[in-house]
Structure 1
Amino acid sequence: MTTGQLTRIRTHRRVRGRRITWLLVALVAVVAALAAALVVVPLLRPPGPRPLFQLPVGCGETWQLSTYPGHDDYDVDLFPTEGEAWGRPVLASYAGTVTEAGVNGAVGGRNPENPEGPRGRGGGYWVKIDHGGKWETQYLHLLEPPLVRVGQRVAQGDQIGRLGSTGNSGAPHLHYEQRRGWDKVETHFDGEPSGITTDEREHIVKRTSNNCQPG
């Protein structure tokens, strides 16, 4: 084989190697673009219709819904109007998939045996549920670790925890939020707005739960 032939073979191999490299780079770029589209496109879609959320407490029970200055807009604190608050069942407002179930911040030391114990930070034991269509609900200050796990599918009315006072909480209650996309919104229960929209003033209403299992 002549020197010229060897040179042509080496040149051909270099050109072919460059082509393969560019093809691999292009393939990786296409795969990355498709992966990004799978993530970004759903985020750009508008939220779906509001689910028919129910109060996150037992069927037929009447609870006080309230807010106060500094509580943050749209946040709702729920207190039972009758009976002991500690340990009351906390129910899923609507069917969905659990995306958070654990500790938000720090638990602290408040419980039925030591109600004036040290406060924790944040929401304490909590649960977040994805209801689809960019709708979520959050349930904070639970008494103990949630009764559900991340990835679990829950039905409306399923018990997800028990009411407590973990995290930054002064008394046993349920801190509850409804979210559309990244934004908190006014809570609606059984199709009716709660009226709690701002924390500029104290606001208290009473509602009876229609979070009832079929039959």
Structure 2
Amino acid sequence: MTTGRPNRPRTHRPVRNRVGLAVLALGVLAAVLVVAVVVVPLLRPPGPRPLFQLPVACGETWQLGTYPGHDDYDVDMFPTEGEAWGRPVLASYAGTVTEAGINGSLGGRTPDDPDGPRGRGGGYWVKIDHGGKWETQYLHLLEPPLVRAGDRVAQGEQIGRVGSTGNSGAPHLHYEQRQGWQKVEAHFAGAPSGITHDNTEYTVTRTSENCVPGQP
């Protein structure tokens, strides 16, 4: 018996549609993974503060200070004895170098021409990631840093020399500690520096305990 209706051919979903859906699903999965890898760590609270040390040679005494307009938590460091030009700058704590190069522009202040033209920003600088969302920054170095991005450095390892590159009026080390990538009060050997704001001029002296076992 027949109904009189013609038989219709069975339809199939084109293969390309199934492939497109698979590609779309993989794209969504990749996006989710990116969010998990990138965003989730950013939401985690910072780890405990590392035992940062002064970024200068063991036993040296330096003046730490700030002044109006310097920016909160920024620390300028000057040796209390001897010439500042060329003094070793050391890593405050072990970590991985994330920046090492020029911040802004260099200017023309050198030991031979200390009153040369100022540059912009931090001049030669280094930034170190210490893990747990803790970073340190070292600015106005004399010459290209002794380390490169990606290098692993130990506490007390030399990363550069004190200079006056960038927007600097005299040879010194501009130093910052950051927690969760925001500046915080710098601590050295577990003690706060006292430099928290730039409302007034403030100075304090500290002696470095950035001492490497087996070295003088």
Name the TM tier (shorter chain): over 0.9
Q: Which amino acid aligns with 2:67?
A: Y
Matches within 5 A, 1:136-155: 136-155=135-154
Unaligned residue ranges in structure 1 (runs of 5+):
none
In structure 2, what is the equivalent of residue 194 of structure 1? 193
In structure 2, what is the equivalent of residue 129 of structure 1? 128
- The Cα of 1:20 is off from its aligned counterpart by 2.5
Verify: 1:162 aligned to 2:165, yes or no: no
In structure 1, what is the equivalent of residue 3 of structure 2? none
In structure 2, what is the equivalent of residue 63 of structure 1? 62
CA deviation map 1:72-128 (0-9, x unaligned): 000000000001110000000000000000000000000000000000000000000
Q: Which amino acid aligns with 1:172?
A: P
Give RMSD over aligned pairs. 1.3
**Contact 2:93–2:155 (Cα < 8 Å) also in 1:** yes
Unaligned residue ranges in structure 2 (runs of 5+):
1-5
- The Cα of 1:4 is off from its aligned counterpart by 6.7
Give the SS at the match of 2:12: helix
Q: Which amino acid aligns with 2:12?
A: H
Verify: 1:99 aligned to 2:98, yes or no: yes
TM-score calculated relative to the size of structure 2: 0.94
**Contact 2:72–2:196 (Cα < 8 Å) also in 1:** yes
**Contact 2:96–2:129 (Cα < 8 Å) also in 1:** yes
- Once residues 74 and 16 of structure 2 are traced to their aligned partners in structure 1, the CA distance between those partners, rounded to angstroms, is 61
In structure 2, what is the equivalent of residue 12 of structure 1? 12
Q: Which amino acid aligns with 1:168?
A: N
Matches within 5 A, 1:35-114: 35-114=34-113
The percentage of aligned residue pairs carrying the same residue is 77
Bigger helix fraction: 1
- Once residues 119 and 77 of structure 2 are traced to their aligned partners in structure 1, the CA distance between those partners, rounded to angstroms, is 19
Give the SS at the match of 2:25: helix
- Once residues 174 and 30 of structure 2 are traced to their aligned partners in structure 1, the CA distance between those partners, rounded to angstroms, is 42
- Once residues 129 and 4 of structure 1 are traced to their aligned partners in structure 2, the CA distance between those partners, rounded to angstroms, is 74
- The Cα of 1:36 is off from its aligned counterpart by 1.9
Give the SS at the match of 2:196: coil
Runs (4+) of structure 1 moved beyond 2 Å? none
Q: CA 1:79–1:13 in structure 2 vs 1: closer, same or farther (change >3 Å)?
A: same
Q: CA 1:138–1:4 in structure 2 vs 1: closer, same or farther (change >3 Å)?
A: farther
Verify: 1:22 aligned to 2:49, yes or no: no
- Once residues 82 and 156 of structure 2 are traced to their aligned partners in structure 1, the CA distance between those partners, rounded to angstroms, is 20
Tell me the number of residue pairs that the alignment of Structure 1 and Structure 2 aligns. Answer: 209
- The Cα of 1:17 is off from its aligned counterpart by 2.9
